[in-house]
Amino acid sequence: MPAKLIALKPADVSERLTSGTAVLIDIREADEFARNHIVGALSRPLSGFEKAHLGIAAGKDAIFTCRTGMRTGANCGRLAARVNGEAFVLDGGIENWTKSGLPVANNPGAPLEMMRQVQITAGVLVLIGVGLGLVVHPGFFGLAAFVGAGLTFAGISGFCGMARLLALMPWNRLAPA
């Protein structure tokens, strides 16, 4: 029988966190966590999850969260396997937590999440390529094809050149402490 996570409503998670009986583990990537997160949550990105120290003291429940609950649901076996005993998930993720009126630490100065930056950049490049292809010269359709090929390669290989380039941009560099 595959491992599963027991869903908890935001109010139940808040009560467990306030009473100190649980640890909330956010599995989103570091750039997502930096932009907003539930106060007190531990950042343990899914990309390095098996190697991460979860920081769960004996006798405390592990509650996992992501943005909407999709990632935790898709990886429930991986997550539950790292916990002795029952493992829990914040039903609906941080979005449901926020809709329930519970507080979230926001940092509007943090850069947009890398995947959103890639989506925006790819979309703009495709629109430019198609627009110029229609108005200026059909050769510009090649720009849209190039972006599509790059996204396909990224999906197959796990390497996204556009994300690597965007990571070098000034707005994505951490300011010195």
- Residues marked as catalytic: 66
Tokens of 133: 């292809």
CA distance 3 to 131: 49
Say whether 25 sits in a helix, a strand or coil.
strand
Q: Is 93 exposed, middle or buried (0-12, 13-18, 19+ CB in 10 A)?
A: buried
Sign of CA dihedral 113, 119, 120, 121: positive
